[in-house]
Amino acid sequence: MSKAYVIGLDYGSDSVRSVLVDATNGEEVSSAVFYYPRWSNGKFCDPLTNQFRQHPLDYIEGLESTIRECLQKADNDEIVKAVKAISVDTTGSTPVAVDKQGIPLALSDRFADNPNAMFVLWKDHTAVQEAKEINVHAQKCDKDYLKYVGGIYSSEWFWAKLLHILRDDQDVREALYTWVEHCDYIPFLLTGGKRAQDIKRSVCAAGHKSLWAADFGGLPPNHFFAELDPYLDGIVDHLFTETYTAAEPAGTLSEEWANRLGLSTDVVVGVGAFDCHMGAVGGQIEPYYLSKVMGTSTCDMLVAPQNEVGNTLVKGICGQVNGSIIPGMIGMEAGQSAFGDAYAWFRQVLSWPVANLIAQSNDISDTDKSKIANLIDTQLIPDLSRKAEALPVTESSELAIDWFNGRRTPDADQTLKGALMGLHLGTDAVRIFRSIVEATCFGAKSIADRFVEQGIPVKGLIGLGGVAKKSPYIMQTMADVMNMPIRIHKSEQTCAIGAAMFAATAAGIYAKVEDAMEAMGQGFEKTYEPRAEMVAIYAKRYQQYLKLGTFIEETKH
């Protein structure tokens, strides 16, 4: 095979990363990161009301900046000329209101500072009431439109967010032509799309978040939405029927974007998908292995042959869709709404004196303040982990529930809250941290148990993402709680590498994504094995976790 290069573009919650990859062997030539400036400054967000919005300019500026930087770092004209394709993954469900030309409303002067005209980030939970109404309404229908999304619709998803925005903002409601996922918008932008109706929608986003299903003939009919709320009447006419896998091309770079990036108009742009789905491919997912992309939240992905799944439908997960991860296989998604975010929350709690008392002190120099803040930011969690690992675990140890950002799966409920139990005057920061780590692992076990209970075996675990790479204590606890090995993938950037694998497939370098995975995959660096003595104690503590969770659910109102 002659030399060919591809670019994987990975949009995360805080930043976007591009990687330039040798398509023949998966070797990373260069990479670049862009932190969203408006998001970093806390603009358009209100954590107290669970509002998290991102401006499209953060995405567009990051797209141009990171790809251009990757190409500059490569410092080789022959490599630049040999770039064949770009593919994109994003968070999701992260939709936005666009006009008839497919332009996000926030890119107009009129809506430039209106959060309702921006991308509604996956973690935005302002649509809890709308999700509840969708679930109640769906129960009245003769046809089960929720059966492929686990039977429960989430406030994190497409329709709940759309309905909330339509109700909340008359100006946006009147200007909106259609509603588009982030992963579908970026390929449309790169290929120079001019009409919203031409946006190629990914089966990944459509099937897992938008109630699209082949056996429905597409989306549920208009009357389903019009009866739910008149504001939704006619919306489906501006949406889509056809969907595409990430192995297919969305088109080629437009002349404008080819010039902006310094690439050729022959460069193929692949259909987009969600980060966790492409991350699972970058992490070399195997049938019946739960591929856990662990970052601020987790996405747990599982693939299985369609003929083996048959009519089995797993209740309480984030859907199962043919081709959403690997074309030709059923892709199943679950996850936790807070994983790394739970640890970050605790770090923020402990950092209060630094952010307030020390920051306001006139007796400490700005240089020393910066050093102290950096020390806390970089060393607090690693040091807590080392000390927590040394503590003995008993049945009476402090216990936590991991629903700090609601519960994604099993059985989505974003109104649920986290909890701590068993605190006493001997409880310190290390013991609380340990209980939060254990809770996130117990939450992960409840997901695996649901798959098994519903007839889908889980043969093992694959760990991907920042937490998996950087936190041996958390990964060992995960293996002990789950009572199964967890293999950690070598790649630092499995989502971006997965996007690169799909780019290579969309460009025809490989006939199918499995071939790209085999050729470009980097393999695994470590396996954490469960320790028998810890498995036994965690089995007992897991039962306590389930009881406490049930109590919280029953008393939440």
DSSP string, 309-367: HTT---TTSS-EEETSSSTTEEEEEEEES-SHHHHHHHHHHHTHHIIIIIHH-SSS-HH
Does the structure show a pLDDT above 70 at 458?
yes
Predicted confidence (pLDDT) at residue 26 exceeds the cutoff of 70 = yes
User: How many of the other CB atoms lie within 10 Å of CB of 361?
Assistant: 11
Report pLDDT for 333: 93
**3-class secondary-structure state, position 406:** strand
Task: Determine the pLDDT at residue 191.
Answer: 98
356 pLDDT band (50/70/90 cuts)?
confident
CA distance 298 to 293: 5
Give the CA-trace dihedral at 367, 373, 376, 377, to 10 degrees.
-120
pLDDT band at 557 (very low <50, low <70, confident <90, very high): low
pLDDT of residue 1: 64
In this predicted structure, the answer to whether residue 279 has a pLDDT above a threshold of 90 is: yes
Quick: pLDDT tens for 288-343. 999 998 988 898 999 999 999 999 999 999 899 999 999 999 999 999 999 999 99
pLDDT given at position 240: 95
CA dihedral 440, 445, 450, 452 (to 10 degrees): 160
Sign of CA dihedral 448, 468, 512, 499: positive
Give pLDDT, residue 412.
Answer: 86
Q: What is the pLDDT of residue 2?
A: 79
pLDDT band at 93 (very low <50, low <70, confident <90, very high): very high
Asked if 94 contacts 55 with a C-beta cutoff of 8 angstroms, the reply is: no
Mean pLDDT, range 403-423, rounded to an integer: 92
| pTM listed for this prediction | 0.89
Cα–Cα distance, 300 to 91 (Å, whole number): 14
Cα end-to-end span (Å), the chain: 62
Q: How confident is the model at residue 176 (pLDDT cuts 50, 70, 90)?
A: very high
Tens digits of residue pLDDT in 368-381: 888 888 888 889 99
Instruction: Name beta bridge partners: 332.
Output: 302, 320
Q: What is the mean pLDDT of residues 530-537?
A: 96
Tell me which DSSP letter residue 390 carries: T
Average pLDDT over residues 203-224: 95
Whether residue 360 is predicted with pLDDT greater than 90 in this model: the reply is: no
- pLDDT score of 322: 94
Closest CA to 27 of 517, 520, 524: 520
- Mean pLDDT to the nearest integer, 491-515: 95
Share of the chain above pLDDT 70, in %: 100
Distance in angstroms (rounded) separating the CA atoms of residues 477 and 341: 18
How much of the chain, in percent, has pLDDT values that exceed 90?
88
Measured between alpha carbons, how far is residue 406 from residues 162, 271, 418 in Å? 20, 31, 8
* Angle subtended at Cα 221 by Cα 218 and Cα 227, rounded to the nearest 5 degrees: 150
Q: What is the pLDDT of residue 196?
A: 97
The stretch 383-397 carries a mean pLDDT of 95
Q: What is the mean pLDDT of residues 233-250?
A: 96
Query: In the structure, what pLDDT confidence band is assigned to residue 362 with cuts at 50, 70 and 90?
Result: confident
